Amino acid sequence: MKKRALISVFYKDGVLELAQYLASKGWEILSTGGTKKHLADAGVPVTDVSAVTGFPECLDGRVKTLHPKIHAGILGIRNNPEHAKTMEDLGVDPIDLVCVNLYPFFEKVQAGLSFEETVEFIDIGGPTMLRSAAKNHDDVLVLTEAADYAEVMAELDAAGQDTQKVSRDLKRRLAGKVFNLTSAYDAAVARFMLGEAAAPASGKSPLWPEYFTVPYKKAQSLRYGENGHQQAALYLNADSVGAFGGMKQLQGKELSYNNMRDLDIAWKAACAYGEFMKSLPEAFPAAPETKAPVICVALKHNTPCGAALGKTVLEAYQRTFLVDPVSIFGGIVGCNTIIDATAASEMIKTFLEVVVAPGFTAEALEIFSAKKNLRLVQAETKPNAITETLSVDGGILVQERDNTLFSDWKVVTEKAPTAEQAADMAFGMTMALFVKSNAIVVVKDRVAVGLAGGQVNRIWPTEQSLARAKILTDAGLPCLDGKTSTGGAEVMISDAFFPFADCVEMAAKYGIKAIVQPGGSMRDQESIDAANRLGIAMVFTGTRHFKH
């Protein structure tokens, strides 16, 4: 009996060559719609599926291959006598190869179409044929991507066109690709339907369905993971464009696993201040006008080692560099605005692994080109994820992204912070979001002059951050007004409450005048009393920012 192949593809790269090969080997080609026309126009003999089913394509193409003569032809087990007799009685001829790819739902769900328009790109017949063929893969070859066409043609040549003699390893691998594709496709549809349809109707959050399914597609294999002996790859959302999906590497070596982890935090930290300043609490005192929209963040080992605002990229970078000229070596720098030639000239004076920004001037690119290994990344999309995940052995933890800087602005001491101190508090809190707990940040004039965290108690990073801040401010810090500051830092930020008064007492020794923390300890009053005794203003925000 003549072998038959059903070919129906949206993406037509390579399909003509496959069909021509099969036709030359005596196969009958079944097809539909655009694929049939594409093959017929090139001279490939094609049988319309409706000629097999005896049923016309209908409902605007929604029903073409959903017919027993198609699915029985795919699912019938060739060496099962009962299946063979049933197929003969019903006049069903076997289908030995299925080549299908799906409507572009991944792309269309990102395109901003209406809900009704997007629904029309949900493929029904394609996944159904693929799943049928994959289930019966011992007898049916199934193809979902052009990358496999050549290997299948070579195997068919070796097997004398007998699909049952094609290697079981290849057939299982192709079947596995089917379920890998259709599960991701269904995940994208589920996320779309839950997010766009069910939530408004039910009033329930679409974030926590019974099954957490996310369609990730491999963007690239990496040379290695966190360490040289670990394999790794980068997967990106197939149904939405996050910050990483909007990044372009303009020069330099291939990004490593660790580069990417740092890049993620550097870009989030660079963007955070501008986003959070749009939603300050009503009680927040009016901050002085700084005319400093530019922020620069330096990162090392997934932790900020410097951060500052500036009127220009150069000023922001120079102030960031001053925070820790040692740790920035071999680090990553993120900026929230286009990097120009003056900033680029300064940045190449030290060894940096990665620089990420929304863009680079032509002059800056020319300057950076002298550092061939330096990775330049243009980030065209701001961080926009709603949730974040962390793998645990046997599962994942899923939570909403930490996207609330303040729940409140409650002055709990006799003294209130000045507007200038409040501005430093707001800046410092955005940086504390990205410092490992227990996080303590000391700020002066919108420079994070002290950054410490990742310790098992709060007093150690408090002392480390304060001591570092004193060294910097004693040396004189460039101010936003172009002058050199005098005096020490006045503002300290804590990501969580103080369990004892010791951190307040330590802060007073270093001249801190204002502290912001979430509050919520059983011993809050001890810290408040200590602040009042020592003449320190203290604000409770009601929002903890642990980062483990």
Catalytic residues: 135, 301
Max Cα distance, the chain (Å):
96
Q: E strands, 252-386, where?
A: 294-300, 303-310, 331-335, 352-357, 375-379
Q: What b/e readout covers 161-199, taking b as 16+ CB neighbours within 10 angstroms? A: eebeebeeebbeebbebbeebbebbebbbbbbbbbeeee
Give whole-number Cα distances, 202 to 192, 195, 205, 234, 258, in Å. 15, 11, 9, 35, 41
Using alpha carbons, select from 397, 406, 426 the residue that is nearest to residue 287. Answer: 426
**Residues 548, 436 contacting (CB under 8 angstroms):** yes
Give CA–CA dist 421/288, Å, rounded: 10
Upstream peptide bond of 438 is cis (omega within 30 degrees of 0): yes
Could you tell me where the DSSP H helices lie in 112-167? 115-119, 125-135, 149-158
Give whole-number Cα distances, 154 to 7, 8, 21, 22, in Å. 18, 21, 10, 12
Place of tokens 């050549």: 150
Using alpha carbons, select from 485, 445, 491, 451 the residue that is nearest to residue 467. Answer: 451
HSE, side-chain direction, 13 A CA sphere, residue 74: 24
As a whole number of Å, the CA-based R_g of the chain is 31
Tokens of 312: 């220009």
Give CA–CA dist 163/179, Å, rounded: 20
